[in-house]
Each structure stands twice: as C-alpha cells, then as structure tokens.
Structure 1
Amino acid sequence: METQDQLNYKRIASAIDYIKGNFKGQPSLDEIAEHVHLSPFHFQRLFTEWAGTSPKKFLQYISVAHAKRMLMENRSTLFETAYETGLSGTSRLHDLFVNIEGMTPAEYKHGGKNLSVNYSFAESPFGNLIVASTAKGICYMAFEDNEVQALENLILRFPNAFFVRKLDLIQQNALFIFQNDWTKIAEIKLHLKGTDFQLKVWEALMKIPMGQVSTYGTIAKQVEHPNASRAVGTAIGSNPVAFLIPCHRVIQSTGLFGGYMWGNTRKTAIIGWESARTSHLLP
C-alpha cells in the first residue's frame, strides 16, 4: 500500500516529466494538472507544498537557461572565499560538514569482511531509499522502491559483511537533511569503499553548494586531472551515497542535466527542489 507521500512524489515526477517533454510549448497550469488527474487548485497546492515554489517558478528552475546561469555563478571564487573564511555554516554550504573516511585496504580488498553494516529504509521527498552505516559512518544510500532489490544491491557492494536491519544514530543524523535540518550535518561521516581517485572526485562533489551546479570538466580540474572528464564521469556514476554526495549537481556544460544513476526525472526534481530552497540566497 502506497503512502500519501509516495503517491505525491509520483504525481510530482509525472508532472516534471510532462513539463520537460512539453517545455517548448510552455504548458499551462491547467494542462499539467490535467495530466496528473488533479484539479488546477489541488495540483498547485500539492506542487507548492512539495517543491516550495509554484509550478511556473519550478519550470524556470529546471530550464537550460537557469542551469547555464548557475554554471556561470559557480565559476566565481565566492564559494571558496566563504569556505576559507569560515562562512560555511549556512545551509547553502552544508555539504562541507560531511567528511569522507575511506575504508582500509584490507576492508576494500575483502569486500567488507568482519564489517558490521546496519541498514534501514526511509522516505524522502524524492521517493523511498535505503541507507546503511558502519560504526564509522554512512557507507551506502540509494533511492529504491523495492526493498528486496535495495538490500541485494547493498550486499553486492559488501558481499562478506554482516548485515543488521537497524536504524542507528548515524543514519538518523543523515536523514535529517531531507527535513531541512542541517544541525546534525557536522556529525555525519561517510565510510566509503573506493579508489583514491574516486574518493577525490566524491570529495569534490561535496564542495558544490546546494542550489548550484558544476560540470564534469570543472570537477576534473578540481581533482587535478583536467583531461580526465570521462574518468570523472565514471567515478561520479559509481557514487554509493545518493544526495549526501551530490552527484545530481553535475550537469553537462551545455546546461542539459544529463543522466543520473537513480533516474533523470529524480535528478531534475532534486535540482529544482534545491534551487527553490536556496533562491533567496543566490546573488
């Protein structure tokens, strides 16, 4: 049985798909509402509750023109200056409180042997997800409606680990982010299995402020491999922690959003949702 939140997200996702597919025609509120089988009044209210802005404004946030503007803004040193001078306590820069701790070579080599992994399932504004943690931090987070498939995917990453279905404090602190509660961000650590290059790329992703986007080429330069855009794309595509490591904030240099491991519609939804919540902070 679907919860109301699950049903609402499906309606929002369907509306986003319709908006993207009919963007050039600038669909009206009535047209979008009809597509998701709601009255214009109820659709406007539902969409505003979920996205924090009107469908019309959201349409602007997911347009190529807006994405290009965000890319231009991200070329300035404003973000780096704010970070270096200790101004990273705002919600816009919250990701930098998330720290990465790579697994030891032995843990990496043996697929999590002797590693105890707690996991649980939760709801988010973008659908159901599975979140898993070790004693050191979050090791996996993924959007997945099917709990059986979600667990199988987790086990594939750590085939020799010991798994317990348990919601622990580490997971709870991470999940607060979906409630716009950044107070626990400083307590979040990630315990990741990856190569040195992957860890560098994932760390670079966490320096993209909420409500902003970057490109594969920019990330390649930041990890000091300016000609490795393709390798960067592969590392981004292997990101094991959805949302906390914000691979959704990397788009094509043309302004097109591009692919996403957990679905292009979800990526569009997240980018628009974050833009809506940080629009008052943008220059």
Structure 2
Amino acid sequence: MSFCIKHCLPLVGLLAVSSTVNAELVSLQGDSLIFSYDTDNLYNMGNVEVIGNQLLFHPSLSIAIDSQTFDGYSPAPIFASVSYSAIIDVNAKPGFRIDDHRITNSGYAFNEFGPTGPYASIYSSTTPLPQLTLSGALELNSESYYLYDAPGGIVEVPVYAYQTVEEIIGYTPELDEFGNIIGQTPIYETRQVEVIIGYNPVETFFPVYKINGASLGLSEVAVDFQVSGVPLPASVWLFLSGLGITGMSAKQRFPRRIRQGRRSD
C-alpha cells in the first residue's frame, strides 16, 4: 500500500495540475549529452535531430519582397520580418562536461534575377547552460530607387500670340444748338492682348521608381557542443585505493588462516 501511495500520488498530482496539456516533452540522446525540450518552446524551428553531440534544427523559414514598379511617385520602404526561437535543456551524461558550444545559421538568398548564393553566420551563444535559448529573425528591407522617365501621353499645349484690340472705353455726348443731347460719339482705345492662336501636340513624361524583388530563407541551425571527460575527484581515487589495500590485506590474512588450520591438524 505504501509503495502505491509513494509512486502514484506524484502522477496523480501531475495530472491534476496539467489537465489541459497540449505540449509534448521530447528527450534526445547524444554521444555524451542529453537534450530535452517542450514542443511549445520551439517557434518556427521545424524538427530537431541529434548527430553525435550536435543539435540540429530544420526551420524551413523564409520571407520575400516582390519586385514592383511605381509610376509617378517614390513609395515608402518595404520591410519584412519573421522570427524564430527555441528553448532547450542540455545536460552532460555522467563522466562528461560541456566546455563550450557554437551556433551556425545556414540559409539562402535570392533576388529577382535568381539565387545570390548560400549564406552562413557562426557565433557563440552567451546563454548559460544547461538551458540553451536560441532566438533571431530573418529581415529584409527594400527601398525604391529612380529608374527612368516614362512617357505619359500626348497633350495639347496652347500657342499664344499678341494681337491689337480696339475697345470702346466711353462716349462723348453730341448736342444741338439748343444744348439738347442728340447722340453719343464712342471713345476708342487700342491695346495689345495675348490670345490663343492654336495648339501644339507635346509628349509628356513622369518618373518611374523600382523596388527589386528579394527573398531570404533559413534552412538549418546547428549547435555544436565541445564535450570532454570529467576526471575523477581525489576523494574517489582515495576511496578506490582504500578498497585495493583492504582487498590485499584480506588476501594476505586468508592464506595465513589456512596455514594455521593445517598446522592444527
């Protein structure tokens, strides 16, 4: 009964606390290391595998900016980003220790004309073990640039010329002999005015801007651990030496007792 209570109560408590657990706890064995992680703690990192003492992620992560042409105005910069992260526990097996580790991000880059080649970034993490945290983001930033002036069409531009215009600016009254107004004489003024005499067809232009297409992908994140054996502490050597001396003393006493037993016979 005590055995059942001792071993089953922790399990019952775990089920009571985590009744709606969707994450999966995964453990992977390396040559000298043990890796464990909760699947909820992998964000955009894909599947995980272990090769020797190397921890390998396969994110299958990418972002892209499409190639675009803008007529008549310069557009705002286009920014694209997608993040990734992982939290994983790393523990050395008995008799080993972790000296350091190196992280390598590998991926690919494309522009609108095709692949520009693979890329890789190598750095050491400052995250203290046994918990290793990986985080980062793919980022693209593309700005427009002036491309050329494109024809916009044909417009009719007016042609102006000056002409002489005579206008009536007033009148002078005509009087008879008795002082009565019998008529009016117009007063004229001559001046030059600008008038449209025709139209000429003209081809118009406007600026054209370009944003080059580009894409970026992250295909692998590798964490290489440098592991070495742990030397036994001095207390262990003393303990083993004591066992050896005790064994030798017992071996020496055992034949002596046999010889004494034979003499008594």
The alignment's TM-score, normalised by the length of structure 1, stands at 0.19
Greater strand content: 2
What is the TM-score when the length of structure 2 is the normalising length?
Answer: 0.20
The answer to which structure has the higher helix fraction is 1
Whose RCO is larger (CA < 8 A, sep 6+)?
A: 2
Kindly name which structure, 1 or 2, has the bigger radius of gyration based on alpha carbons: 2
